Amino acid sequence: MNEIVIFDKAALSKEMKLEAKALGIPVGAAEVFIKKSVDGVGKKLSNRKIITNKDLERAVYTELKKYNADLAYVCKNRDKIF
């Protein structure tokens, strides 16, 4: 379902860091590319008045994939992985 969401950089960053930790990605490296990814997502979505959950997921996946494909996959499929 496409629900409207509020883009919160701090919350997104925190979620990504938790996922990175679960994958065993070193903290220092994760912090660097997560910051770059969150900033990229912010730029992509800055001109939109309404952001849906799918818009946010798509932007996060696109940005994270540039730096870490495994983390991007996990974030994209967070609720679908059993």
DSSP 48: -
For residues 49 and 35, what is the distance between their CA atoms, to the nearest angstrom?
A: 23
Q: Where are the extended beta strands (E) located within 17-81?
A: 51-52
Strands (E), 4-63: 4-5, 51-52
Q: How many C-beta neighbours within 10 Å does residue 59 have?
A: 21
pLDDT of residue 72: 94
pLDDT digits (tens, 9 = 90+) for 25-73: 999 999 999 999 999 999 999 888 889 988 999 999 999 999 999 999 9
The mean per-residue pLDDT over the stretch 7-31 comes to 93
The whole-number average pLDDT for the span 16-23 is 93
60 and 11 in contact (C-beta within 8 Å)?
no
Q: Which residue has the higher pLDDT, 79 or 68?
A: 68
Model pLDDT, residue 82: 44
Tokens of 59: 């932007």
Both structure tokens of 61: 């996946």
